[in-house]
Chains A and B, each alone.
Chain A
Amino acid sequence: MKQATESRRGDPLLVISDLTKRFGEFTANDGISLELEPGEIHAILGENGAGKSTLMKMIYGVLKPDSGTLKWRGKPVILHNPAHARALGIGMVFQHFSLFESLTVAENISLAIPETVKLLRSRIAEVSTRYGLPVDPDALVHKLAMGQRQRVEITRCLLQEPQLIIMDEPTSVLPPSAVPILFETIRKLAASGCAVLFISHKLEEIRSLCHKATVMRAGRIVATVDPAVESSASLAKLMIGRDIPHPSRSAAKPSDVPALSLHNLTLAPDDPFGTRLDDISLQVRPGEIVGIAGVSGNGQRELAAVLSGEQPLPAKQNGSVRLFGGDCGHSDCGHRRAQGMAFVPEDRNGRGSVAEMTLEQNALLTGYARNLVAYGFVRNAAVSKFAQDCIHEMDVRCSGGDAEARSLSGGNLQKFIVGRELALKPKILVASQPTWGVDIGAASAIRQRLVDLRDEGVAILIISDELEELVEIADRVHALFRGSLSPSIERGDVTDELIGSYMAGNFSPEKLSVEVSGP
């Protein structure tokens, strides 16, 4: 009889009461209570540092609560570790991917699932076709783009057939065309009785997908609402406690001479799994923002590497990359930075920053030219001030300039890196995914800074998976598809249909395919 009541639908699957977690003086979660029913898609909304991740880690057994209780299917449980949580039927898709880079996709998945790699291969193929998450089981993870890695994470989680899936910002790296497919997956899971905890800062997504939303601010729950009856603006207001500004922008007044230009750039990748850049021509003029849209894995990484100088062109290839008219295809990152170029790389850990170094040391890494070094000696006071300015300017939440980069949450580190590059006062800024993982309030602040910078006459190129971001701030948008660049669409002419068809290759008949979610 006990079992009958347990399995009756409508009884809560998970009940959390009064959960509290402190890190030293800082209270990350303060008396959190919530209930989750089978088949419910429940959103957790909140800014960076609101305590969403801490809460999820406690539900998944990574962290132990200081006080409060968890009830799973009616019984109080103390989760010892993630394996315990998984055994109970709780799965998680992480925001910072918990994948092993030197292993293949199938090996990664087999670590979480008690099955041989050989048998898994067919199950991976089955799940990935059923849920529209194409992955190559034999690909090495370190060669995959962020969006592809997330597909691996989601596939791995689905293969464990959980009763509750925690998804930490799952759409943040998916192309727009794949988001509805993921939502279809989530709805199918919910229909089969699986509950989903969906963490996102994309309010429209939450409104269209979720049954209930819990809004967190500064470690506490501020509201539990039905997202369908709320507006995006009202959700945002609950979340950040005030209205969010949209970037104000005036018409672009670009000058005629391009600051940065590519001329018929064709480049075979070094990496056998990379994308070949195919006859790309592009101009960015001072005082305009040019956006590159596209599904990740279509050459964004390669294009960014060519622009930054990380991937210099072969010696015989002249004139393909020009800075203020001068050939710079062979010069390295340092030379290009010296000419007034700044970069925000896609990969904030490893390219954008060094995890083990403090923020001050990270600031010095690209800020050295701003009078931070004298006669070969680091001017510590100046470095410290430079880092403080970046932290203050971008409202980076951290313990100070001596905090290690890895101690910051992803969004906060991103804000710091963007702030550092902006503080270099560049003439040309190339930014890949400038607001990846950054919460809504801070993202709109970053976008406003980019627009302001444009008005000061800086040439800005933004490579982004987030179409809304490009639509919001770019003056012209290109799409990248399998290494080819579409013609640009002027701001006024951008429609979802047009840019969507460009992103699917409709500008380049010979490469066109019916595939929706890219290679």
Chain B
Amino acid sequence: MDTLTFLLSGTLLAATPLLIAALGELVTEKSGVLNLSIEGMMALGAVTGFIVATASGSYWLALLAGGVAAAALAAVFGFVVLVTLGNQVASGIAVGILGIGLSGLIGRPYESSTIAPMHELPIPFLSNVPVIGPGLFDHVALVYCAPLLAVATWWLLRSTKVGLVIRAVGEAPEAAHAIGYNVVLVRFCAVLYGGFCAGIAGAFISIASATLWSDGIIAGRGWIVVALVVFGTWRSGRVAIGAYLFGMTTLAGLLVQSTGIAIPSQVLTSVPYIVTIIAIAMLSMDPQRIRLNAPVSLGQIYHEAK
């Protein structure tokens, strides 16, 4: 495999779970809820997906199971912040830790075991193009789905009634309530959706990219997801750019290391974060755009008047 193929293919593999989870978190945040437990939800999705794939051999079922498990954890989070009105930041971190602990517990018997990778779905003709073909068009189906999901999320939020309601609830919950929307229900659904996406992303890591389970496998990716949404100024396109950029710089770091140039590995591992932050910050310097996209009520407790 030549270098470029390796770079392209590795970028997609690294970016796909980030993008899927970030698009879910984007919808959650647009409804006004800041979910900081993505890391735990991805871990729970990863372990559930791994176990289901090992036991049943069905990778699709495994992805679904990962999503459902994380959505169940998201329901706990949703209950705490929306019904009992817990602080979103503190509750998010706590539920995240719960998810990580739970995944370690459930995954104990499977610690460090591996699994055959999910089957690739090469796209006819395109995958035969030299260099680019194997790099871009010879992947598991989810890799192709991620950019489509970005477009779908953009369309959902921009042009559909559902998207409009989510944005309205995230911007002015009192006003949304006053014109007759059930703010808590909308937010709860958005939280469940975000959890589901995070779970799928976690399962993708354990069964399609890393193809193993070990405690701590998510390794901070859940936090990158949260950062991508914020630095992407709550726009699907920018979140996608951020995810792929992050994936690419991660791979580039590996390549540099493999050439034997003497740069400390700590510097190389920090590069993706720095590059992503700088790039997205430059893309989103227009304060008016941020004002239009940032959910005004993000992170605030909504207390319905009785």
Residues of A participating in the B interface, judged by any CB pair closer than 8 Å: 57, 60, 62-64, 81-84, 86, 92, 94, 97-103, 107, 110-112, 116, 140, 142
Contact A82 B172, beta carbon cutoff 8 Å:
no
Contact A110 B164, beta carbon cutoff 8 Å:
yes
Q: Which residue of A lies closest to B161 (CB)?
A: A110
B292 at interface by CB-CB < 8 Å: yes
Distance of A112 Cα from B176 Cα, bound (Å): 9
Contact B171 A81, beta carbon cutoff 8 Å:
no
Main secondary structure of the interface of B (DSSP, over half): helix
Contact B306 A98, beta carbon cutoff 8 Å:
no
Interface size on B, residues (CB 8 A): 22
Distance of A59 Cα from B266 Cα, bound (Å): 64
Mark each residue of chain B from 64 to 94: 1 if its CB lies under 8 Å from any CB of chain A, else 0: 0000000000000000000000000000000
3 closest Cβ pairs, A-B complex: A83-B180, A98-B175, A82-B180
Contact A102 B181, beta carbon cutoff 8 Å:
no
Least distance between B134 CB and chain A CB atoms (Å): 43
Q: Which residue of B lies closest to A60 (CB)?
A: B178
Q: Which residue of B lies closest to A98 (CB)?
A: B175
Which chain A positions have C-beta within 8 A of B165? Answer: 111
A82: contacting residue among B168, B179, B292, CB under 8 A: B179
Contact A101 B171, beta carbon cutoff 8 Å:
yes
Contact A112 B179, beta carbon cutoff 8 Å:
yes
Contact B306 A81, beta carbon cutoff 8 Å:
no
Which chain A positions have C-beta within 8 A of B171? Answer: 100-103
Q: Which residue of A lies closest to B304 (CB)?
A: A81
Contact B174 A83, beta carbon cutoff 8 Å:
no
A100: contacting residue among B167, B182, B293, B306, CB under 8 A: B167
Contact A63 B167, beta carbon cutoff 8 Å:
no
Contact B172 A83, beta carbon cutoff 8 Å:
no
Contact B178 A94, beta carbon cutoff 8 Å:
yes
Among residues 137 to 185 in chain B, which have CB atoms less than 8 Å away from a CB atom of chain A? Answer: 161, 164-165, 167-168, 171-172, 174-182
Distance of A82 Cα from B177 Cα, bound (Å): 7
Say yes or no: A100-B181 contact (C-beta < 8 A), given A62-B305, A63-B306, A64-B306.
no
Say yes or no: A103-B164 contact (C-beta < 8 A), given A63-B305, A98-B172.
yes
Least distance between A155 CB and chain B CB atoms (Å): 14
Mark each residue of chain B from 31 to 66: 1 if its CB lies under 8 Å from any CB of chain A, else 0: 000000000000000000000000000000000000
Distance of A100 Cα from B168 Cα, bound (Å): 6
Least distance between B177 CB and chain A CB atoms (Å): 7
B291: contacting residue among A60, A102, A116, CB under 8 A: A102
Contact A98 B178, beta carbon cutoff 8 Å:
yes
Which chain B positions have C-beta within 8 A of A84? Answer: 180
Distance of A99 Cα from B172 Cα, bound (Å): 8
Least distance between B231 CB and chain A CB atoms (Å): 19
Distance of A23 Cα from B153 Cα, bound (Å): 42
Which chain B positions have C-beta within 8 A of A100? Answer: 167-168, 171-172, 175-176
Contact B164 A107, beta carbon cutoff 8 Å:
yes
B178: contacting residue among A62, A116, A140, A142, CB under 8 A: A62
Which chain B positions have C-beta within 8 A of A112? Answer: 179-180
Contact A83 B181, beta carbon cutoff 8 Å:
yes
Which chain A positions have C-beta within 8 A of B177? Answer: 62, 81-82
B180: contacting residue among A86, A97, A103, A142, CB under 8 A: A86
Least distance between A269 CB and chain B CB atoms (Å): 13
Distance of A62 Cα from B182 Cα, bound (Å): 12
Between-chain CB contacts (< 8 Å), 12 pairs: A60-B178, A63-B306, A82-B177, A83-B179, A84-B180, A86-B180, A98-B178, A100-B168, A100-B171, A110-B161, A111-B176, A142-B291
Contact B306 A99, beta carbon cutoff 8 Å:
no
Contact B164 A82, beta carbon cutoff 8 Å:
no
Least distance between A29 CB and chain B CB atoms (Å): 14
Distance of A103 Cα from B292 Cα, bound (Å): 8
Candidate in A57, A103, A110 with the most chain B CB atoms within 10 angstroms: A103
Distance of A97 Cα from B164 Cα, bound (Å): 18
Distance of A116 Cα from B161 Cα, bound (Å): 8
Among residues 217 to 257 in chain B, which have CB atoms less than 8 Å away from a CB atom of chain A? Answer: none
Distance of A111 Cα from B180 Cα, bound (Å): 9
Contact B168 A111, beta carbon cutoff 8 Å:
yes
11 further A-B contacts with Cβ under 8 Å, apart from A82-B180, A98-B174, A112-B180, are A99-B175, A101-B171, A102-B167, A102-B296, A107-B164, A110-B161, A110-B164, A111-B176, A111-B179, A112-B179, A142-B291
Distance of A81 Cα from B178 Cα, bound (Å): 8
Contact A103 B181, beta carbon cutoff 8 Å:
no
Say yes or no: A111-B164 contact (C-beta < 8 A), given A82-B178, A82-B179, A102-B292.
yes
Distance of A83 Cα from B181 Cα, bound (Å): 7
Least distance between A59 CB and chain B CB atoms (Å): 13
Contact B180 A81, beta carbon cutoff 8 Å:
yes
Q: Which residue of B lies closest to A113 (CB)?
A: B179
Which chain A positions have C-beta within 8 A of B292? Answer: 102, 140
Distance of A94 Cα from B174 Cα, bound (Å): 12
Least distance between B119 CB and chain A CB atoms (Å): 41
Least distance between A88 CB and chain B CB atoms (Å): 12
Which chain B positions have C-beta within 8 A of A94? Answer: 178
Least distance between B249 CB and chain A CB atoms (Å): 32
Distance of A505 Cα from B98 Cα, bound (Å): 67
Q: Which residue of B lies closest to A91 (CB)?
A: B179
Candidate in B174, B178, B291, B296 with the most chain A CB atoms within 10 angstroms: B178
